[in-house]
Structure formats: structure tokens, C-alpha cells
Chain A
Amino acid sequence: MDTRIVSAARQGVATRLLSLEVNGQRQQRAVAPDITLLDFLREELGLTGSKRGCDLGECGCCAVLVDGRPMLACLLPAADLEHSAITTIEGIAEGTALHPLQQAMIDEGAVQCGYCTPAMVINGVHLFSGESRPDADAIRTCISATSCRCTGYNRIVQAFQSTAERLAEDPR
């Protein structure tokens, strides 16, 4: 019972065995058929880096990578992702080595309250995986899904730009 909000304990609803790869690790849980990926990550696996800001796909704070593509975990029925590979913010850094974007977010002051930060990074990691030199428009588009109320976005754009410059010099 302990930490689970949406748990197998629901009366009268059959659970199903769900198997997902999360951050490279196979995870299997018996869950209700209608739980979202966000609930699965936060409540079943305790991966709380993906944030719940609205639960309706409007704030963008719950973005994760599903088979490499950024998606909003609050809108995804977890059962629909059977056998998909999920990467959450907890899986972005390689060991203690941050992704260049993570480091740039720190250095450029793109992090204030930090609540939108994981989603900004997730969207950015996808952007930089396909495009080494995104222009200002591509950067703004990339971060537009995620509501940030602290920074006015300027420092975040700056962090993306310096990441682009860094990757151009030293492609990963």
C-alpha cells in the first residue's frame, strides 16, 4: 500500500501486468489499466523528476522521452507503451557526466525554481539529438511546450544556444 496512489489495491478493477523499459531498466508492475505514464513513473517507480503541473498536457512539465521522442507523460496511458523504452530526467546524465545542455542550464542561470527544468532538458536532448545547430526559432519552438514562470525564457534560450555552440565545437 505504502507510497502508491494508483495501486493494485483498487477495488473491483482488474490489474494488468505492465512491462516497460525505464532508463535502461526493465520494470514490471501490476497496475490498473488506466493509469498514465506519469503516475506509473512517479507513484509506482518513485521517479519524481517528471513533474505534475497540470495533468492535462498544458504545462508540459512531465515530458519524458518515449523511444527517443519527447512526449507528455500525463497524457499517455501507460498500458499503451508496453515494450517502449522510456527515458526520464533521471536517465539523462551518464553517470556523473551531465548532458551538455544540463551543464549549460546551470551555467547560464536557466534554472530558477527548477520545476520546469526537467522537461526543458528532455525536449532539448531530443532537439540536439537531431539537430546540432538549431536556430533561435527552433529553440523557441522546442521550449514552447513547457511553461516557465520564473525566467521569462531568456536564460533558457541562452543555455540552448551555448549548448549548440559547444556541440558544434565538440560533437558528442
Chain B
Amino acid sequence: MNAYRIVGTPQPQIDARDKVTGRARYTDDIRLPNCLHAAILRSPHASARIRAIDTARAAALPGVKAVLTGTDFERTFGVLPISKDEPALARERVRYVGEPVAAVAAETAELAAAAVALIAVDYAPTPPVLDARQALKPTDDPLHPELQRENNLHKQVEQRFGDPEAGFEQASIVIEKRFTFPSVTHAFTEPHAVQVEIDGRGNLTVYSATQVPHYVHLALAEVLGIDEHRVRVIKPHLGGGFGGKSDPFPHEMIAAKLALVTGRNVRLRFSREDVFFSHHGRHRTQLTMKLGFHPARGITALTGDFLIDGGAYGSFGVVTTYYNGVLLQGPYPVPNFAFRCRRMYTNKPMCGAMRGHGGVNPRFASEVLMDMALVQSGLDPCQARIDLIHRENTLTINEFRITSVGLQRGLEEAMRRSGWREKYGKLPYGKGIGVACGFFISGSALPIHWNQRPASTVRLTVEFDGAVTVYSGASDIGQGSDTVLAMMAAEVLGVDLGQVKVVAADTRLTPVDLGSYSSRVTFMAGNAARNAAIRMRRLLVAAACRLLALPEPGYPAPAPPEDGFRQGGRAPDFDADFLGANPDYSDGFEFADGRIRHLDSGKQTGFIAAVHAAIEGPGILQTVGNYRAPKLGGSFKGAGAGLSPAYSFTAFIVEVSVDPDTGFVKVERATCAHDCGFALNPLAVRGQIEGCFHMGMGQALMEEVLHYDGAVQNAGFLEYKIPSPFEQPEIDLVPSISDESEGPFGAKEAGEGPLAPVIPAIANAIFDAVGVRLFELPLRPDRVLAAMHKAAGR
């Protein structure tokens, strides 16, 4: 039962009215005075040496204020400290078609574009490396010679747990298959944009369409060689990210440098094609996976060998390399497990983090193999999965701490609602039903930049007028994080949602938050916001007690979660700064309707009166809330990858029609059980799940980045096929029914986990419909038809 006033109830986004009226300002909507316009010259070669760049004609054009080339930047950068391999502008060589080579700032955008066209670059093309297999071959001219490797390997990860060989021996069924996945891209609707405002002291305010203002802040200072305190990064309204805006980017460095050089404000925006060059999408993946299964024992062993095509630079690639393997540790126990993943550099736009980061393609493979094993065993693929899902409060073989698991009950309910038992194996030829499960992190327990700071911090104020302001560094990228933070503060403080203001994603005004990626915001920033609000509540209770002549209630020290397991078998690490995760805040008072009421005595005072009383001493009412992940994980190399304080679990049951003449697959309906713990904002959860389905279905059926001689061949929304409204089915959503004791109000993530199982669920439904398995995405009509013909012996 939901005893809350605001959380748990569907809430439209707090800025929705601004969005439906066109008032919301996105980065390129800002109008800075006396602003220069920047343009970027991009490489037409996938691989070439830069012999010379002649910028004289561009610089001489009246109205051109600055021209930059690679030599204007001394340092390379990258989101991960371990692979800072990307230059703001190419130096000495270009590594992909579309790589920034030079940049201009001029009085108008048109002039800037004209000036860029006057820059003469003398390229000496070299043979490009366009495929990950080719990148494995020894070469004396690797893309990144600084790594001193004999080929184009970027990162190799190998992990081994238990005894896979023995595990396969115990299996009654062993299946091994090769799978191929093209690269897909985020296709958010707002192209990248940045605007830089410079003041008389040389301070830079950088407005950028970014998921990670804090990382951009750090990278700008480092690449520009200026003090960190001279930078301020603000994320205005943002038109979708999905991981594609979670790195610091060259264009941000370029615009900021142009502002520094000219002393003028600078505006820079991307064309849609530029976005495809920037990419950072899902890695093209070739993988072999082997599953050992026994009806009585479940999965006995799982091994995988992954080759992922990273493109020209590192981005999040090291993390991707780990996630390809470690995210296979759910949703079922895998007692014997080994994988190797190799990320290769190639002369193509770089890949990085995309919704479901690293876990999506291996999930397709594992859930298709799982389906094959269950079918071969004569088990019901749905019921068997329910029986196999992780139990609560268990440890995986690689020492992930599994806490709440609500998927068993969720999938049972989804089975019932979808009519699974009446349909599976019983639908006429061409109609099918399929299921697949997944699991995902609720934020990474470890930071990218190693430090002892909290993972998230929120500052909260209450002003003389009763306004509650949440200051958070978290980026609302459209998912509604501002709204959910406001909801939690409003819930704890008993005020209307409208009374809560959110100042977010401004690195001068808001405490450090690492950004919106790895599904961390609701869990981590949410706990921080909740704790800040609880501390504020205590200040107001103290003031109310003074006004009402009541003794202050005593508060228990933050209690550890109910058993040692919840801290990974270690002592609780709560300290004086940290209230813990999701602490109980009952204090004998009720905050509601603008009143603070003592429950036992019935005495009450006004909220504003308490605010005024509390503000008398300090002159300002301000609290801080933190979130720190518990100490988790093993002590082996790479143990930190995939560690999260909580994991979400998802199952999709999908019904499809397969056209026997054309091979067209139509998803008719879907039922989803997603365990996100307590759904703080059911409207947002539903939106995330439906959005995940759209993106997963796109990857399943039609999306693919095509290349020709290294150039992106479908760099636009006409030829890069995103499903239209006609392809999207109705989705029946089973309410989440688990409770995650460490999540704020019991919540876990909902933004990424639901994507991965969509794809294998569709593939498994195709098998039920027409009896064919496909091992290469997308499941295009021609491939489905060819498989059907092959199966029929035609």
C-alpha cells in the first residue's frame, strides 16, 4: 500500500508546460549577445596523415575572428582517465570520416561555414582499418601507436569464475552459436549544441547539451589548460541523450577555445549528419557464446568471446569491454563463467555508451541460447525462467550483491496477463509469442575518477517564502530526473510539488554529481535528495518544537540494513555525514497542508512559521544530503565493473506476426514485468519502458549504421530507420512489486534495463511463429524470409 502523498503517484514532468508551449530553452535556443558563430571542418578521409593545413585564406575573410587547428590544443581527453586518447582537433592524422580537423569563429554562421570551406588540408590517405577482424592483424601503423601494440587492440578483458569446462560436463545440453550485431546509434532528436559565454575576467560559462556537466567541466579545464574554477557548465533543457551525450566532446573544447581566443561569446550547433559522425553508439559486435544447461541444475556454464568494434577512439570503451561479460551475471545464476572481450580501434566514428551499455548484444545471445536450451529440454520457456531467476539476497559468482528481486512474481503476472499458457506453441503458423529476461545496474558503485567523495550530493534550501529548492548536479535529459527529485523533497517535507524548485546541472551552483549515465540518478541523486530533505525536516521539526514548547524527538543513529549481507558482509560504513540509504524519517510529526502537526499532542504550527523560526539563527536554511554506495565486490582484477548497490530485473513477453511471403515481422503486443522496486513516478517508469521498447524494437528489426569506405552511408533520419508510430505495439505493464530497501523509497532503475530483453523476446517469438532462429541483427524481412525458406528446404 502506498502511504505517500506524492511519490508512487503518476506525476507529469514539472517543466512539461514549458515543453508543450515551446517555452523550454534548449542549448541552441539561447541567444547570447554579441555572439560569434563557429563551424568545424571535418575529415573526408577515414585514415590519412595531415601533411599541412593552410588556414590563411579562411583567416583573411572579413568577419572571421579565429581559426583553430589541432596544434592549438596540447592535451587529448576522454571520459575515462584510462583512455584519454581523443584530440579536440585532429593532429598529424585523421582517424575517421567526419573527424574535426579545423574550426572557425566568425560573425555569422554563414561566414564561418564559408571560411571553413577555404581551409586547405593536404592529406596523405593511408589504408583504413574498417573491421574489427582486420584490426586484429599485426600492423606497423596502428591507429594509436602510443599504446605500443602490434595490432589495433584497444582493450582486452578476460575473466574466469568457477570451472566452465566442468560446468559443460554437467550439462545435458550444450549450445554454441556465433552472433553478429551492427552498430546502432542513439538518434536523440536534439543535435549536439554548445554555447560559450565569456566574462571580463576570462571565466567561461559553457551551455551544452550534455548528460555529464561535471565531466565536461573537468575536461574543459584540462584541455584548455585553465584553472578549473574558470569554468562553469550548464545543461539547459536537453533533447534526449541515451548515452550519446555522456562524454566530453571535441565541439565543447573547440567552442570554449574559440571564446578564449576571441574574447567573444561563441555558438556552435551540429547538423544531423554531424551527430552521426559523433556517434558514440553501440559497438558493432561479433561474438561466440556457449551455454551449458541442465533441466535440474539450470545454467551449468556460460562462456563468451566478444569482439567489439570501437571505432577511432576510446570513449567509454573500457567499461563497454567489461560490461559485455559481467552483465551476463544476471538475471540467472551462472556458477561457471568465463569470457574474453576485445575492443578494437577502427577508422570509423567511435562507439561508446548507449542505453543498456555493453549488456544489450550479449543479452540477445544469452537469451536466444537460453530459449533454445529450454525448448530442447521440453520446458516452458516462461516458467523455466521464473524458476531460474536469482533469489533475493544472494551473491553471484563474480561477487555482485543481489538484493531485491521482484521478477519472479512479475513474470508470473505477465504470463497470466499475456495469456502465455494459452498461446505459447499453440498459435497458428505465422503467429508467435516469446519471452526474454534481463537485468541492469542502478548506477555504478564506483566512480570513473577514483575519489572518496559521495557518489551524489544534493543541497537543499528553504527560503523565507517557503520555497524549497533542490540543488542537484544531476542532468535531466528528458527522463524526468528533476521531477523525481522534486517529488521526493516534496514528499518528505509535506509540501506541494509546485513549492519545490529545482536548480540542476549547473557546475557553479550545484554540488558535484557525476551525471546521467549508468541509470544512477534516481537511485543515487534520489537518495541524496531524500537525505537532504530529511535533514531539512529535522531543522523544521526542531523549530516547530520550540514554537510549540515540545521536546525535540530523538533520532536513532542511522541503522545498518537488516543484516550484514546488505553490506556485502562488511561492517556498515555509515558515518556522521551520511544518513544511510533510504532511512526511515518518521519523527512523530505530520507535514501536510502547510502545517506541521505533532501527532501525539495534536499541537501544530504553520510550515512558514516554522521556516521563519528556523531561519532566525543561521539566516539561511540549508541542508546537504549524500549518497555513498556500500563497499561491494571482490578483490580480483576488474571486480569493480558492474558493481551496483541494486539491480533491476526485466521480462518482456512479446507477440509477433510473421508474414510468410515477405518475412515482415510485426510486433502485435507486449507485456512487460520490470522490477524497479518502488515506482516513484509510475508515469515516468511507463515512459521509460515504452521508450526502451521502441529503441529495442528498432535495433531488433531495422536499425543499423551503414558504412561505405568508412563513411557513414545513412547519416540521417530517412535512411537510418527508427520505427514509426505504426510499428510500436501497445505495452501492458505489470506494476513493479519489489521493494529495494536501499533505494530511495524503495526504488531502482527503470531507464535502461528494459531495453535488452526486448530484442531476444522478439527473436524468440519469431521462433514460436515460424520455427526459425536468427543470429544476426537486425531481423530484417529478407533475413527472416531466407531463414524460413532454408528451414522449408527451399
Contacts and interface: CB of A to CB of B under 8 A. Distances in A.
A touches B (Cβ under 8 A): yes
B107 A111 contact: no
Minimum-distance CB pairs A-B, first 4:
A49-B22, A113-B478, A114-B19, A115-B239
Interface stretch (A53-61, A65-73, A75-83): A53-61
A168 interface: no
Given A2-B33, A149-B242, A149-B691, A113 B190 contact: yes
Interface stretch (B246-254, B681-689, B763-771): B681-689
Contacts of B725: 140, 143-144, 153, 156-157
Interface of A: 1-7, 9-11, 42, 46-56, 58-59, 61, 88-90, 92-93, 98, 102-103, 105-107, 109, 111-118, 121, 140, 143-144, 147-157
A143 B15 CA distance: 22
A118 B19 CA distance: 7
Contacts of A46: 31
Contacts of B242: 149
Interface string B265-285: 000010110000000000000
B26 interface: yes
B240 A113 contact: yes
Contact of A6 (B15, B108, B686, B724): B108
B22 A90 contact: yes
Given A51-B189, A109-B684, A114 B24 contact: yes
B187 interface: yes
A20 B662 CA distance: 49
Contacts of A105: 16, 20
Given A106-B13, A149-B691, 7 more contacts: A48-B22, A111-B12, A112-B240, A144-B724, A144-B726, A155-B687, A156-B725
Given A88-B22, A102-B20, A154-B730, A112 B480 contact: yes
A59 B53 CA distance: 35
A6 to B, nearest CB: 6
Which among B34, B237, B694 has the greatest number of chain A C-beta atoms within 10 A?
A: B694
Interface string B696-716: 000000000000000000001
Contact of B272 (A53, A116, A155): A53
Nearest to A142: B725
B435 to A, nearest CB: 19
B108 A150 contact: no
Given A3-B35, A115-B189, A152 B19 contact: no
Contact of B108 (A10, A89, A98, A152): A10
B186 A48 contact: no
B51 interface: no
B23 interface: yes
B722 A149 contact: yes
A149 B726 contact: no
A64 to B, nearest CB: 10
A144 B188 CA distance: 16
B224 interface: no
B487 to A, nearest CB: 14
A148 B691 CA distance: 9
A109 B190 contact: no
Nearest to B479: A112
Q: What range describes how many residues of B lie at the interface?
A: 35 or more
A111 B19 contact: yes
Contacts of A93: 21
Interface in B85-114: 107-110
A109 B12 contact: yes
B1 interface: no
A155 B689 CA distance: 11
B740 interface: no
Interface string B507-525: 0000000000000000000
Contact of B687 (A9, A47, A112, A117): A112
A150 B272 contact: no
A56 B272 CA distance: 9
Nearest to A159: B20
Contacts of A115: 26, 188-190, 239-240, 478
A153 B726 CA distance: 9
Contacts of A154: 690, 728, 730-731
B717 interface: yes
Contacts of B110: 5-6, 10
B479 A111 contact: no
Contacts of B239: 51, 53, 113-115
B694 A49 contact: no
Interface of B: 10, 12-13, 15-26, 28-29, 31-35, 37, 62, 107-110, 186-191, 237-240, 242, 269, 271-272, 477-480, 683-684, 686-687, 690-695, 716-718, 722, 724-726, 728, 730-731
Given A144-B724, A150-B691, A152-B694, A3 B24 contact: no
B20 A98 contact: yes
Contacts of B25: 48
B687 A150 contact: yes
Contacts of B690: 151-155
B70 to A, nearest CB: 27
A6 B109 contact: yes
Nearest to B241: A113
Given A90-B22, A109-B686, A59 B717 contact: yes
A148 B694 CA distance: 10
Nearest to B191: A53
Contact of B694 (A42, A90, A140, A153): A153
A48 B19 CA distance: 12
Which among B29, B33, B695, B717 has the greatest number of chain A C-beta atoms within 10 A?
A: B717
A38 B255 CA distance: 24
A90 B10 CA distance: 27
Given A102-B21, A151-B690, A155-B687, A11 B62 contact: yes
Contacts of A52: 28, 191, 269
A55 B477 CA distance: 22
A6 B10 CA distance: 44
Given A5-B110, A149-B722, A109 B35 contact: no
B690 to A, nearest CB: 4
B558 to A, nearest CB: 35
A58 B716 CA distance: 8
Contacts of B728: 152-154
17 contacts: A6-B109, A46-B31, A48-B22, A49-B21, A53-B190, A55-B272, A58-B272, A90-B22, A102-B17, A106-B17, A111-B12, A113-B190, A113-B237, A113-B240, A149-B187, A149-B242, A153-B728
Given A7-B108, A10-B110, A2 B191 contact: no
A151 B717 CA distance: 17
A127 B501 CA distance: 35
